[in-house]
């Protein structure tokens, strides 16, 4: 929450912590009091109960949320996550970040987010489907292709998005592909959407590191999170020549100072569900020398580049003094809290923020939304070229703002997004406009 004249004292929360970054950006941009007031609170927050008939015949009721933080620049846009730690505070914070991410990339969207308190690993596929369709039943009047558009997030995927689109279309009695992005290609999805977050992050990294004279072959990388985004990015970096020395999933990680063969690690994990340093020849995989490490150990490895690609608040004031990486690229949403930010900044560690680095996902979601509305679909090469142009152009603008104002990259990113949001809000009229004779 941004402090305004009539604001209550902010509580300690993810949203309050996220807002601290914005308060810092306000020092470097002139924005109306109206815009600050509008951006101080979510526009709308919805909490719903979702009854689901389980496979054994019992009934369980799950709690779901959908938050639309701001829609000044366009309909809300944001993913839906399934996780036991989902909370309204978390969903509001993620919607806040999405608001600035969409403005930063100059997409015609506002920020939104959704989630359900559930451990999907404990549900059957049929139970997940009933839960997903039930969620849409409860929020159908709150969403729409011109109101609020859903997308995949933590533990949701293209299949789940397809179920949600299908259920919404059934409720509205018309095929409505644009209410959801990240759908299967056969249901109106876009080429490249499944790898868009990682691909966009790769374009940012490829553009930024040469500015610091980093050569791929001499640059070591550690990645926390080996899900879709983290694993895909690891493989992109591996093929580009970077030395990916450590990766981890929710159970822990592996570290090999000489570098990991990422395609083999991915293949082995897909087949065995185990994270091991291996080198595969066809169907035969040999274990290579490595050390098993925890997720927290990975964050403090002596590497050039650290990429948190798991969940929020992984680097805090407690472990920030132990981080040894020179450059951090946030692929997860909010992996570094504001207290850790100050510590890392004071230590000269360059942090490239989530609202820039992981914006490839929402950018290609925008492409999918456009294709759904036009009924004309692009090739993978067209999608990736448009994504590269968008990511590199906005990254350069953020870099220029940081250099001009001598500020950190995160603050520059918020300055860039805030300027666009402020202009859109002010275009509807401000106190100064109405007080002018």
Which residues are annotated as catalytic? 113
Tokens of 150: 């859903």
Alpha-helix runs per DSSP H in 331-359? 338-346, 354-357
CA gap 314, 302 in Å, rounded: 17
Alpha-helix runs per DSSP H in 26-157? 33-38, 88-104, 125-139
Closest-CA residue to 308 (of 351, 265, 274): 351
CA gap 220, 390 in Å, rounded: 27
Residue with tokens 């759908």: 183
Distance set, CA 297 to CA 227, 254, 333, 353, 401 (Å): 18, 10, 20, 22, 34
Tokens of 39: 């951006």
User: Which residues lie closer than 8 Å to 395 by C-beta, 6 or more apart?
Assistant: 203, 204, 207, 208, 356
Q: What are phi and psi of 146, to 5 degrees?
A: -115, 10
Reported as type and span, the H/E element at residue 424 is helix 409-426
Give yes or no for a contact between 135 and 161, defined as CB atoms under 8 angstroms apart: no
The number of residues in the chain equals: 437
CA gap 247, 350 in Å, rounded: 20
CA gap 377, 226 in Å, rounded: 30
Give yes or no for a contact between 197 and 159, defined as CB atoms under 8 angstroms apart: no
SS3 174: coil
Q: Other C-beta atoms within 10 Å of 305: how many?
A: 24
Tokens of 326: 């020179």
CA gap 54, 60 in Å, rounded: 7
Residue with tokens 């490895």: 301
């Amino acid at each position: 929450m941004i402090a305004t004249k009539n604001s209550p004292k902010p509580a300690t929360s993810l949203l309050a912590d996220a807002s601290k970054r914005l308060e810092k950006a306000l020092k470097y941009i002139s924005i109306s009091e109206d815009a600050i007031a509008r951006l101080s609170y979510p526009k709308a927050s919805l909490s719903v109960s979702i009854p689901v008939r389980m496979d054994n015949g019992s009934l369980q009721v799950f709690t779901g949320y959908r938050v639309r933080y701001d829609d000044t620049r366009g309909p809300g846009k944001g993913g839906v996550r399934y996780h036991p730690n989902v909370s309204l505070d978390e969903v509001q914070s993620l919607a806040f970040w999405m608001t600035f991410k969409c403005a930063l990339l100059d997409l015609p969207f506002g920020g939104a987010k959704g989630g359900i308190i559930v451990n999907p690993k404990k549900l059957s596929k049929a139970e997940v489907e009933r839960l997903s369709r039930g969620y849409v039943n409860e929020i159908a009047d709150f969403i729409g292709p011109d109101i609020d558009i859903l997308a995949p997030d933590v533990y949701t995927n293209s299949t789940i998005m397809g179920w949600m689109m299908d259920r919404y279309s059934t409720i509205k009695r018309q095929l409505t592909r644009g209410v959801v992005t990240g759908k299967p290609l056969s249901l109106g999805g876009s080429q490249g959407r499944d790898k868009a977050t990682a691909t966009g992050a790769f374009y940012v990294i490829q553009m930024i590191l040469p500015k610091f004279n980093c050569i791929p072959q001499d640059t070591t990388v550690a990645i926390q999170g080996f899900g879709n985004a983290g694993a895909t990015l690891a493989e992109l970096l591996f093929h580009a020549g970077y030395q990916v020395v450590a990766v981890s999933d929710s159970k822990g990680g592996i570290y090999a100072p000489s570098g990991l063969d990422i395609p083999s690690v991915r293949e082995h994990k897909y087949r065995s569900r185990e994270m091991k340093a291996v080198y595969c020849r066809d169907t035969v995989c040999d274990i290579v020398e490595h050390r098993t490490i925890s997720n927290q150990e990975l964050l403090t490895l002596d590497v050039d580049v650290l990429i948190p690609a798991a969940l929020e608040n992984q680097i805090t004031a407690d472990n920030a003094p132990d981080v040894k990486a020179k450059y951090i690229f946030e692929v997860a949403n909010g992996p570094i809290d504001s207290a850790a930010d100050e510590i890392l900044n004071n230590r000269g560690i360059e942090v490239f923020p989530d609202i820039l680095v992981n914006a490839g996902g929402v950018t290609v979601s925008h492409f999918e939304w456009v294709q759904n509305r036009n009924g004309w679909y692009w090739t993978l090469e067209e999608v990736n070229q448009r994504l590269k142009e968008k990511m590199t152009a906005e990254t350069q603008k953020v870099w220029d703002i940081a250099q001009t104002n001598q500020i950190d990259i995160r603050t520059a990113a918020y300055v860039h997004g805030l300027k666009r949001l402020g202009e859109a809000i002010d275009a509807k009229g401000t106190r100064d406009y109405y007080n002018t004779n």
